[in-house]
Homo-oligomer: A and B are copies of this chain.
Amino acid sequence: MSHKILVAQGGGPTAVINQSLVGVALEARRFSTISHVYGALHGVRGIVNDDLVDLGQETVANLEAVAATPASALGSTRDKPDLKYCQEIFKVLKAHDIDTFMYIGGNDSSDTVRIVGEEAKKAGHAMRAIHIPKTIDNDLVGFDHVPGFPSAARFVAQAFAGANLDNAALPGVYCAVVMGRHAGFLTAAAALARKYPSDGPHLIYLPERTFVVDKFLADVKDVYERYGRCIIAASEGIHDETGEAIITKLVGKSEKDAHGNVQLSGTGALADLLCEEIKNKLGIKRVRGDTFGYLQRSFSGCVSKVDQREAREVGEKAVQYAALGAESGSVGIRRVGDYAVDYPLIPIETVAGKTRVMEPELINAAGNDVTDAFLAYARPLVGSDMPEVAQLRKAKVAKAGVLQGDAT
């Protein structure tokens, strides 16, 4: 019996999500039992609209170029199917004789895979549904880490490495806001920017801890007095003790997506708010804020080679699992060495709709930095070829003694 695969991409794009797509498309060519690989345009929406493309008609050269291109090449969607939506999906899958559905995405997308798989079973439709992981948030339960995160982490680390140098040259306070609604992994990656003892980020605020404005200001004051400057990494998802996002204190009306999430990205409001607090309460003059925004997930030309390879491999493994007759599941990533991984097929229920947050041992006691355990965890992911930075050793020249106040 020959297999027909349909693959789609869901949720926010990443720098390596097309590696997984191309992993599926190319690996399938090795199996005579796989007759077709179709792609759906804009995720599950492309299925219910019957907007499919034949990936068998793509050239290898172009597929390889697409693999190296950030953001979902098939297009993506934020749609989250309900039962009715799922039945529409079936109708189209059945009409095209698709027996294997692969969805590349994060926890919302993995939940879609679960629903589609369950409904297929109920309907007596012999179809496997395989989840291929991706998310810059790194928040999939059951995973050591998730493709897309290492490249985004690398972007954040390179950004803070540069910001630290810029801030050392023209001292002041610099506060940058990083993506991550519930999980602080990406914000924590800012710590990978540090090399010399006085390097920033000096303070890292994660959504796993309550953000207390007065404590924040005391932290900034302390660092500023010590170094004459201060670099802060703050997650967009930081919230007060009631769980209310700090950003909603500023933004009156909030925009929500289909998953009921408040819009956190695509606005510079949080960084501006934090900077205003520092200026007004601490009286520091030079305070600057940045919001890394969409750059951190789709900047062209900043990718971790480790991430690239692993994203390709999860796509390949998905096809191998399907061709070898495995049931539905999620292609997992398990760390088996320092540094080495393998890709077990894990039950979709482990992942679907759940959110991993940073484990307590990765966050320092004060809740304003990461631990060495986090550095050991994250360092291998961003690749061994991070850009190097260096300082002058600055051998002092003896003062000429012509200034007022010099001891001459």
Contacts and interface: CB of A to CB of B under 8 A. Distances in A.
A172 B388 CA distance: 37
B294 A166 contact: yes
Interface residues of A, number: 93
B169 A53 contact: no
A11 to B, nearest CB: 9
A359 to B, nearest CB: 28
A289 B13 CA distance: 17
Contacts of A66: 390-392
Number of copies: 2
Interface of A: 9, 12-13, 15, 38-39, 41-42, 48-50, 52-55, 57-59, 62-63, 65-66, 68-78, 88, 91-92, 94-96, 158-159, 161-163, 165-166, 168-170, 174, 176, 193, 265-269, 271-272, 275, 287-295, 297-302, 386-397, 399-403, 406
| Of A91, A169, A290, A299, most B-chain CB atoms within 10 Å | A169
Contacts of A94: 402
A161 B92 contact: no
Contact of A267 (B77, B170, B272, B294): B272
Given A71-B169, A163-B294, A163-B295, 5 more contacts: A13-B170, A65-B388, A69-B388, A162-B300, A268-B290
A107 to B, nearest CB: 17
A42 to B, nearest CB: 8
Contacts of A158: 299-302
Nearest to A303: B387
A94 B290 CA distance: 42
A15 B78 CA distance: 37
